[in-house]
A = this chain, B = another copy of it.
Amino acid sequence: MNNLLAKRVLSNDTSDLNEIFKNSANPANISFAGGFPDSQLFPAEGLQQAYQNAIQTDGQSIFQYASTQGLPALREKLAQRMASHADVAVSANNIMLTQGGQQAIDLVAKLLLNHGDAMVVEGPTYMGALAAFDTYEPTYYEVPVEDDGMNLRMLRKTLQAHPEIKLIYTIPDFHNPTGTTMSIRKRKALVALANQYNVIVLEDSPYRDLRYSGVTLPAIKHFDTEGRVIFISSFSKILSPALRTGWLVADDQLMTPLCGLKSAIDVQSPNVTLAAIDQYLAHHNIDQHIATINAAYRVKRDAMLTAMDQYFPATVSYTRPAGGFFIWVTLPAGIDAQQLLTDVVLPQDHVAYVPANCQFASRQVKNAFRLNFTSLDPATITTGIARLGKRLTAICSTPKPAVQLS
């Protein structure tokens, strides 16, 4: 029956990645692969109370169909939060509640991309965003990420060479997978480029509140002068991913068709969940909760970096993120991180990470991988990094590496 499947499905082979995640879920392994929050930090009691309050307050009506754009009271609160936490002045009418940040990405792709349409992604980038974009079969142009965000000289050249580009996808805050943050200068310059070349910027910022040092920067959307920036964030990392609730900020001319698409995709998000989140925000100080999370994640990040400093060989480099979930590790050229993982690190060291290739639209970079530091406790992090470090030391000092050069 394969002859009946759409081309977007046939070209989308993620079986390698599925295999890695399946193996990394084995409790015998120490997995740095998933981008999971720490289960111990979910405010379970507060959320349980919030569900109760929501149903108690709204009664029968909470269970009826509601608006596609999502619960107005929660959008009002998010509008205030966008002002106080992202320096973005926006009304509730310009906010849509979505099924996590992921659905917001899918919606924007659906809004803009015809088969073959051109877009820019960072290299590397969030593999889930690539999975969403892939189903619209775009033409990708990849721009490298530097310590202070996207390489804008390369971006300008790319936009000049390809005036057909419609969309730039970026993760400015504690970038997935590199952990780097885009500078204010680059945020401004990115908006100027978007204006000049008539493109939409999709700013994906699920980690922006998870800062462990330094000060929060204004969102790229703050600098938007022409309604070209669509901002996305999510409750997944600051409250719970099982709520599947994110939000999207867009100007009117884009919000109207986005609501039409959301309606066709799933009618609306679950009203009970949205009302529960609204109650949680009304009766709990989420910023205090985020401060608690951040204190715990700072310890975990430090544990990972300390262990890496101790156990990783000098020929291996890595980022030192000021927040977020991830550290990006670059191996000496010629080492294939995926092969290393499946041949040695997973079966012998019982450690998992996400290899580079599936995090590049080009699938070309192989000598790097992503580590997550939020889901495990500091002692387990140290144990896993020690094992991984010893393996990397052995690999990097072997004149003829045990794994095949790519």
A interface residues, Cβ below 8 angstroms from B: 1-9, 12, 14, 34, 36-37, 39-40, 42, 44, 47-48, 51-52, 55-56, 59-66, 98-100, 102-103, 106, 110-115, 117, 128, 131-132, 134-136, 166-167, 198-200, 226-228, 240-245, 253-254, 257, 260-261, 263-273
Contacts and interface: CB of A to CB of B under 8 A. Distances in A.
A110 B8 contact: yes
B112 A5 contact: yes
Nearest to A3: B198
B242 A65 contact: yes
Given A12-B260, A272-B243, A265 B102 contact: yes
A8 B253 CA distance: 16
A272 B6 contact: no
B65 A241 contact: yes
Report which residue of A113, A115, A263, A264 has the largest number of chain B beta carbons within 10 angstroms of its beta carbon.
Answer: A264
Contact of A128 (B40, B111, B264): B264
B242 A272 contact: yes
A112 B4 contact: yes
Report which residue of A63, A99, A260 has the largest number of chain B beta carbons within 10 angstroms of its beta carbon.
Answer: A63
A271 B242 contact: yes
B241 A111 contact: no
A51 B55 CA distance: 10
Contacts of A265: 99, 102-103, 106, 132, 265
Report which residue of A52, A66, A115, A270 has the largest number of chain B beta carbons within 10 angstroms of its beta carbon.
Answer: A270
B9 A260 contact: yes
A99 B56 CA distance: 24
Given A40-B60, A199-B4, A9 B267 contact: no
Contacts of A64: 36-37, 39, 42, 240-242
Contact of A266 (B12, B56, B244): B244
A201 B115 CA distance: 26
A266 B198 contact: no
B65 A34 contact: yes
A241 B7 CA distance: 33
Contacts of A44: 55, 59-60, 62-63
Given A4-B166, A47-B55, A243-B272, 8 more contacts: A1-B254, A6-B110, A36-B64, A47-B272, A48-B52, A51-B51, A51-B52, A62-B242
Q: Name the 5 nearest CB pairs between A and B, nearest first.
A: A63-B240, A242-B271, A99-B266, A42-B63, A131-B264
A264 B1 contact: no
Report which residue of A3, A47, A266 has the largest number of chain B beta carbons within 10 angstroms of its beta carbon.
Answer: A266
Contacts of A36: 64-65
A39 to B, nearest CB: 5
Contacts of A7: 114
14 contacts: A3-B198, A6-B110, A6-B114, A37-B64, A44-B63, A48-B51, A64-B240, A98-B266, A102-B265, A106-B266, A131-B260, A244-B267, A270-B273, A273-B273
Contacts of A56: 48
A117 B6 contact: yes
